[in-house]
Amino acid sequence: MNFIVQGYPAYAYTGGRPFDPKLPAVVLVHGAALDHSVWQWQSRYLAHHGFAALAVDLPGHGRSPGQARASIEELSDWVAAFIEAACAGRAHVVGHSMGSLVALDTALRHPDRVAKLALLGASVPMPVGEAFLAAARDDSPAALDMQSVWGHARLSPLSASPVPGSSLALAGRSLIARSRPGVQHAGLAACHAYAPSPAAIRALAVPTLVLAGRRDQMTPMKAGQALAKEIPGARFTVVDAGHSMMSEAPREVLTALRAHLAA
């Protein structure tokens, strides 16, 4: 489904059902160089069980045209504008990786747009290694390999896939490779530069879930745990997965989201 946000079309996957603005809206925000498809398992369930699911493609990603935003703040302004454009008023905002920073910043600077918050694979700060940034800046295949390998649990290619007949690591690499030139670097650089006020995080007044992967190589579990301790009343939950937890542990992630959104 397409909306007009900040003057440009913006695509959101609605989980196989028409968007109903009368239902509680859940806006799902993907990570750097990814798109709405990372939420395919969770968005479809939510859309068929009482929620209006909106798995967005951020500007310059997937089916959304325009320029990729250069900062987390610009992306969170876009998400707030998206929620308004969807006539949702307020929405539950769920973000993964870079999307978790976008979701957090949306709650910090646009609290009237956020009903509940869920942060998956989150870390504040979220530093990105110099070699990774350099490879992404050059649009090198090495950057695709780094994100694919570190974005899954170690030895995940040797494990059984939750999706029969598919390799999660190869599918992830293919998705990143489809991103437009410069988009991966813009996302990684935005993550690296983001530095919200610790005082603002400690004053956050939105029901929050922080979901971490026990085998996450990008945003370690302890980083998510530390963030959860800073957010008043936040619930901290761990799933047995790497950074790409939505595909590595789809049922466990959905169970955690359902419990949080229905509470």
pTM, two decimals, is 0.95
What is the per-residue pLDDT across 201-247, written as a single tens digit (0 to 9) for each? 999 999 999 999 999 999 999 999 999 999 999 999 999 999 999 99
Distance CA 76, CA 224 (A): 20
Distance CA 93, CA 114 (A): 6
Percentage of the residues of the chain whose pLDDT score is greater than 90: 90
Under 8 Å between Cβ of 126 and 101: yes
Sheet with 8-13, edge to edge strand ranges: 2-5, 8-13, 52-56, 25-29, 91-96, 114-120, 208-213, 235-239
Asked: is 2-262 a CATH 3.40.50.1820 domain? The reply is yes
Beta strands in 106-178 (DSSP E): 114-120
Under 8 Å between Cβ of 179 and 61: yes
Give the pair of three-digit tokens for residue 4. 């007009």
What is the per-residue pLDDT across 155-214, written as a single tens digit (0 to 9) for each? 665 455 666 656 777 788 899 999 999 999 999 999 999 999 999 999 999 999 999 999
Helices (H) and strands (E) in the chain — how many of each?
11, 8
Q: Which helix H or strand E contains 217, and what residues bound it?
A: none
Under 8 Å between Cβ of 149 and 120: no
Give the pair of three-digit tokens for residue 52. 């209006």
Mean pLDDT (the chain, rounded): 94
What is the per-residue pLDDT across 99-134, written as a single tens digit (0 to 9) for each? 999 999 999 999 999 999 999 999 999 999 999 999
Q: Which pLDDT value is given to residue 88? A: 78
Q: Please name which of 98, 99, 58, 115 lies closest in space to residue 82, comparing C-alpha atoms.
A: 58
Enumerate residues 6+ apart whose C-beta is below 8 A from 41. 246, 247, 250, 253, 254
The larger pLDDT score, comparing residue 128 to residue 263, is at 128
